Structure 1
Amino acid sequence: MRDSRSSPAMAAHVDPLVVGRVIGDVVDLFVPTVPLSVRFGTRDLTNGCEIKPPIAANMPAVQIAGRANDLFTLLMTDPDAPSPSEPSMRELLHWLVVNIPGGADPSEGETVVPYVGPRPQVGIHRYVLVLFQQRARMNAPPPMAMVGEAARANFTTRAFASRHDLELPVAAMYFNAQREPANRRRNY
């Protein structure tokens, strides 16, 4: 009898978060339990897809499932800053919103760190969106006017989750982006 655990169909389905090293570099292994959809303009985000930095310059449209009395935290980091070969700023925080009601989008939550789009300088960077379900309403600090990279550098998703009594993520997605050569840049 054949072992079903080693079937070709099973081998073909490997979690893209594992393949992209999001699980390991940013978060621990988890089971997604809340549907999350992310869209940059007309482009739906799928794990591991490439998004050109100009397309992701503005905050994405995000829809979080869940009940209205559920609360969520959404964050976005770049674990490859400033360079994938030497990620000395790991993780660079690009966005942080807390107290987002279930069934809503981040605009209904409290923005702690405003969105900043991808700005990769060298190599292909991963941009990771992680969603946590909160146990209770967070006392969010006032929005930070953190504009410089130094203020956003060395963020740690795991430490943030621990500090704010968040368990494992309930959803995560990531995309890749790289700097376009000056002669190839397009804003469409």
Structure 2
Amino acid sequence: MGRSIEPLAVEKVIGDVVDWFVSEAKLTVQFGSKQVSNGCKIKPSLAADRPLVRVLAPSNNATNLYTLVMVDPDAPSPSEPTFREWLHWIVVDIPEGSDATQGKEVVSYMGPNPGRGIHRYVFVVFRQRGGSLVGVETCLEEERANFNTRHFASKHALALPVAAVYFNSQRQPKPRRSR
């Protein structure tokens, strides 16, 4: 597909989360009517519920399966990302051309909860080698801090990423009380 990964490099998604890769698929992520594009701003309240995610590849081969990983590499703050990467979601066995609901959710979706600063929320899709990841150990909910996308991909023999997209989000101001 040859989609540009330049925004991912400029904003250090490539480097902080994944290595250089060739984009071979189209990844669409949508929160309600809001389509995610690299660097767009999305309020945490809009992203509280899991998005509609679809993986489209030129082969259009329904036997190809994909894994989706969503992380925040800026937790708890971009200036001190001591929890890098914070794991927000993992779905495996997504059939090509389908949305993530057709896969198996192994780590439940957690919406953005940015602390200080502007956080990047990254969706990465890997093509699975050799079929299903049935039996992939689920990451425990308490093990979300210091997740490592590269390590996860290597441990489960995933190919290089085929697509990625990220959005920015920051803490929403609390509504003021009227006196």
TM over 0.5: same fold?
yes
Distance 1:160 1:114 in 2: 16
The match for 2:41 among 50, 54, 72 is 50
Q: Which has the higher strand share?
A: 2
Contact 1:114-1:144 at 8 Å conserved across structures? no
**Structure 2 gaps, min length 5:** none
**1:170 aligned onto 2:162:** yes
Structure 1 vs Structure 2 CA RMSD: 1.6
**1:124 aligned onto 2:118:** yes
Contact 2:118-2:169 at 8 Å conserved across structures? yes
**1:139 aligned onto 2:134:** yes
Contact 1:75-1:97 at 8 Å conserved across structures? yes
Partner of 2:28, secondary structure, is: strand
Percent of paired sites with the same residue = 54
| Residue correspondences, number | 169
Q: Which has the higher helix share?
A: 1
Partner of 2:158, secondary structure, is: coil
Taking structure 2 as the reference length, the TM-score comes to 0.89
Partner of 1:24, secondary structure, is: helix
Distance 1:174 1:78 in 2: 9
Contact 1:39-1:62 at 8 Å conserved across structures? yes
Contact 1:74-1:98 at 8 Å conserved across structures? yes
Taking structure 1 as the reference length, the TM-score comes to 0.85
Matched residue, 2:30: 39
**Structure 1 gaps, min length 5:** 1-12
Matched residue, 1:9: none
Structure of larger gyration radius: 1
Distance 1:83 1:166 in 2: 29
Contact 2:89-2:107 at 8 Å conserved across structures? yes
